[in-house]
Amino acid sequence: SPALGDAETPALCFPTPGKTSLAHQFVEGKFVECYEPTVESSYNKVVVVGKDEFQLQLVDTAGQDEYSILPHSFIIGIHGYVLVYSVTSLRSFQVVKTLHTKLYESWGRTRMPVVLVGNKADLTLQSREVRTDEGKKLAESWGAVFLESSAKENQVTQGIFMRIIEEIDRVDNSYDRSAGCCLM
Protein backbone atom coordinates (compact mmCIF):
# COMPACT_ATOMS: atom_id res chain seq x y z
CA SER A 1 0.00 0.00 0.00
CA PRO A 2 1.31 3.47 -0.83
CA ALA A 3 2.83 5.62 1.87
CA LEU A 4 0.39 8.13 3.27
CA GLY A 5 3.10 10.76 3.11
CA ASP A 6 3.44 10.56 -0.67
CA ALA A 7 -0.19 10.33 -1.71
CA GLU A 8 -2.38 12.70 -3.60
CA THR A 9 -6.07 13.29 -2.91
CA PRO A 10 -8.27 14.50 -5.74
CA ALA A 11 -11.57 16.22 -5.23
CA LEU A 12 -14.28 16.00 -7.83
CA CYS A 13 -17.35 18.10 -8.11
CA PHE A 14 -19.74 20.02 -10.29
CA PRO A 15 -18.03 23.22 -11.48
CA THR A 16 -19.52 25.54 -8.84
CA PRO A 17 -19.75 23.76 -5.49
CA GLY A 18 -16.92 25.81 -4.01
CA LYS A 19 -14.11 23.25 -3.92
CA THR A 20 -11.47 25.77 -5.04
CA SER A 21 -12.61 28.12 -2.27
CA LEU A 22 -12.23 25.21 0.19
CA ALA A 23 -8.71 24.53 -1.12
CA HIS A 24 -7.69 28.20 -0.79
CA GLN A 25 -9.16 28.42 2.71
CA PHE A 26 -7.31 25.26 3.78
CA VAL A 27 -3.93 26.14 2.28
CA GLU A 28 -3.85 29.93 2.62
CA GLY A 29 -6.30 30.51 5.48
CA LYS A 30 -8.41 32.97 3.51
CA PHE A 31 -11.68 32.89 1.63
CA VAL A 32 -11.46 33.73 -2.08
CA GLU A 33 -14.84 34.54 -3.57
CA CYS A 34 -13.79 35.28 -7.17
CA TYR A 35 -11.24 33.26 -9.11
CA GLU A 36 -10.69 31.74 -12.53
CA PRO A 37 -12.40 28.38 -13.09
CA THR A 38 -10.01 25.60 -12.13
CA VAL A 39 -8.25 23.63 -14.82
CA GLU A 40 -6.31 21.65 -12.23
CA SER A 41 -4.26 22.98 -9.36
CA SER A 42 -2.02 21.28 -6.86
CA TYR A 43 -1.30 22.52 -3.34
CA ASN A 44 1.08 21.28 -0.66
CA LYS A 45 0.62 21.83 3.03
CA VAL A 46 2.14 20.42 6.19
CA VAL A 47 -0.65 19.13 8.44
CA VAL A 48 -0.25 18.15 12.09
CA VAL A 49 -2.49 15.36 13.37
CA GLY A 50 -1.89 14.62 17.02
CA LYS A 51 1.89 14.49 17.41
CA ASP A 52 2.48 13.56 13.77
CA GLU A 53 3.32 15.89 10.91
CA PHE A 54 2.24 15.08 7.34
CA GLN A 55 2.96 16.54 3.93
CA LEU A 56 -0.42 16.64 2.18
CA GLN A 57 -0.56 17.13 -1.56
CA LEU A 58 -4.00 18.34 -2.56
CA VAL A 59 -5.10 18.13 -6.19
CA ASP A 60 -7.98 20.50 -6.99
CA THR A 61 -9.50 19.08 -10.17
CA ALA A 62 -11.43 20.82 -12.89
CA GLY A 63 -15.18 20.56 -12.45
CA GLN A 64 -16.50 17.18 -13.50
CA ASP A 65 -19.90 16.08 -14.70
CA GLU A 66 -21.53 12.68 -14.99
CA TYR A 67 -20.30 12.32 -18.59
CA SER A 68 -16.64 13.04 -17.85
CA ILE A 69 -14.12 10.28 -18.32
CA LEU A 70 -11.93 10.17 -15.23
CA PRO A 71 -8.23 10.47 -16.06
CA HIS A 72 -5.88 7.87 -14.59
CA SER A 73 -4.24 10.69 -12.62
CA PHE A 74 -7.40 10.77 -10.46
CA ILE A 75 -6.75 7.17 -9.43
CA ILE A 76 -3.03 6.32 -9.66
CA GLY A 77 -1.13 7.43 -6.55
CA ILE A 78 -4.25 8.84 -4.92
CA HIS A 79 -4.95 7.77 -1.34
CA GLY A 80 -8.28 9.44 -0.70
CA TYR A 81 -11.02 11.67 -2.07
CA VAL A 82 -12.88 14.72 -0.85
CA LEU A 83 -16.08 14.84 -2.91
CA VAL A 84 -17.76 18.25 -2.79
CA TYR A 85 -21.26 19.33 -3.75
CA SER A 86 -23.16 22.53 -3.10
CA VAL A 87 -26.15 22.25 -0.76
CA THR A 88 -27.76 24.82 -3.08
CA SER A 89 -27.53 22.52 -6.13
CA LEU A 90 -29.33 19.19 -6.43
CA ARG A 91 -27.52 18.68 -9.73
CA SER A 92 -24.08 18.88 -8.08
CA PHE A 93 -25.28 16.30 -5.51
CA GLN A 94 -26.33 13.95 -8.32
CA VAL A 95 -23.02 14.46 -10.12
CA VAL A 96 -21.08 13.55 -6.95
CA LYS A 97 -23.03 10.26 -6.75
CA THR A 98 -22.00 9.39 -10.32
CA LEU A 99 -18.38 10.40 -9.71
CA HIS A 100 -18.21 8.20 -6.62
CA THR A 101 -19.50 5.24 -8.63
CA LYS A 102 -16.88 5.82 -11.35
CA LEU A 103 -14.09 6.20 -8.80
CA TYR A 104 -15.17 3.11 -6.88
CA GLU A 105 -15.29 1.02 -10.06
CA SER A 106 -11.76 2.19 -10.96
CA TRP A 107 -10.30 2.03 -7.44
CA GLY A 108 -9.65 -1.72 -7.42
CA ARG A 109 -10.03 -2.13 -3.65
CA THR A 110 -13.06 -2.67 -1.46
CA ARG A 111 -12.49 0.38 0.81
CA MET A 112 -11.95 3.83 -0.62
CA PRO A 113 -11.20 6.72 1.78
CA VAL A 114 -13.83 9.39 1.11
CA VAL A 115 -15.06 12.52 2.83
CA LEU A 116 -18.33 13.81 1.37
CA VAL A 117 -18.72 17.57 1.81
CA GLY A 118 -21.93 19.55 1.45
CA ASN A 119 -20.52 23.03 0.87
CA LYS A 120 -22.15 26.47 1.04
CA ALA A 121 -24.01 25.51 4.23
CA ASP A 122 -23.85 29.15 5.31
CA LEU A 123 -26.37 30.20 2.65
CA THR A 124 -30.02 30.73 3.49
CA LEU A 125 -32.36 27.82 4.06
CA GLN A 126 -34.51 29.00 1.13
CA SER A 127 -31.61 28.47 -1.30
CA ARG A 128 -30.91 24.92 -0.05
CA GLU A 129 -31.75 22.10 -2.49
CA VAL A 130 -30.05 19.22 -0.63
CA ARG A 131 -31.02 18.53 2.98
CA THR A 132 -28.39 17.59 5.57
CA ASP A 133 -29.99 14.17 6.14
CA GLU A 134 -29.71 13.39 2.39
CA GLY A 135 -25.95 14.00 2.51
CA LYS A 136 -25.60 11.92 5.70
CA LYS A 137 -27.57 9.04 4.19
CA LEU A 138 -25.46 9.04 1.02
CA ALA A 139 -22.19 9.09 2.99
CA GLU A 140 -23.41 6.24 5.21
CA SER A 141 -24.24 4.16 2.13
CA TRP A 142 -20.63 4.64 0.96
CA GLY A 143 -19.08 4.07 4.40
CA ALA A 144 -17.76 7.64 4.12
CA VAL A 145 -17.42 10.59 6.47
CA PHE A 146 -19.98 13.38 5.96
CA LEU A 147 -19.46 17.05 6.77
CA GLU A 148 -21.26 20.24 5.88
CA SER A 149 -19.16 23.34 5.52
CA SER A 150 -18.75 26.83 4.27
CA ALA A 151 -15.48 27.76 2.59
CA LYS A 152 -15.83 31.04 4.50
CA GLU A 153 -15.27 29.21 7.81
CA ASN A 154 -11.64 28.18 8.22
CA GLN A 155 -12.15 25.90 11.23
CA VAL A 156 -14.62 23.65 9.41
CA THR A 157 -12.42 23.62 6.31
CA GLN A 158 -9.38 22.50 8.33
CA GLY A 159 -11.48 19.67 9.78
CA ILE A 160 -12.33 18.32 6.32
CA PHE A 161 -8.70 17.70 5.48
CA MET A 162 -7.89 16.30 8.93
CA ARG A 163 -10.70 13.79 8.41
CA ILE A 164 -9.42 12.62 5.02
CA ILE A 165 -5.98 11.98 6.55
CA GLU A 166 -7.65 9.96 9.33
CA GLU A 167 -9.73 8.03 6.76
CA ILE A 168 -6.68 7.27 4.62
CA ASP A 169 -4.90 5.92 7.68
CA ARG A 170 -7.93 3.91 8.79
CA VAL A 171 -8.37 2.30 5.37
CA ASP A 172 -4.71 1.90 4.36
CA ASN A 173 -3.38 1.38 7.90
CA SER A 174 -0.23 3.13 6.69
CA TYR A 175 0.11 6.26 8.81
CA ASP A 176 3.09 7.61 6.88
CA ARG A 177 4.27 11.17 6.46
CA SER A 178 2.77 12.01 3.04
CA ALA A 179 -0.72 11.79 1.62
CA GLY A 180 -2.19 12.46 -1.79
CA CYS A 181 -5.75 13.67 -1.82
CA CYS A 182 -8.01 14.51 -4.71
CA LEU A 183 -10.57 17.29 -4.28
CA MET A 184 -13.44 16.74 -6.68
Q: Quick check: 48 pLDDT over 60? A: yes
Mean pLDDT of the chain: 72
The better pLDDT of the pair 151, 178 is held by 151
What average pLDDT does range 129-155 have in this prediction? 88
Tens-place pLDDT, residues 90-118: 998 998 898 888 888 876 666 778 899 99
How does residue 67 score in pLDDT terms, banded at 50, 70 and 90? very low
Q: Which residues contact 155 (CB under 8 A, 6 or more apart)?
A: none
Tens-place pLDDT, residues 146-157: 999 876 765 577
Q: Give the whole-number percent of the chain exceeding pLDDT 90.
A: 16
How does residue 33 score in pLDDT terms, banded at 50, 70 and 90? low
Distance CA 152, CA 24 (A): 10
- CATH architecture of the domain 4-183 equals 3-Layer(aba) Sandwich (3.40)
Q: What is the pLDDT of residue 13?
A: 42
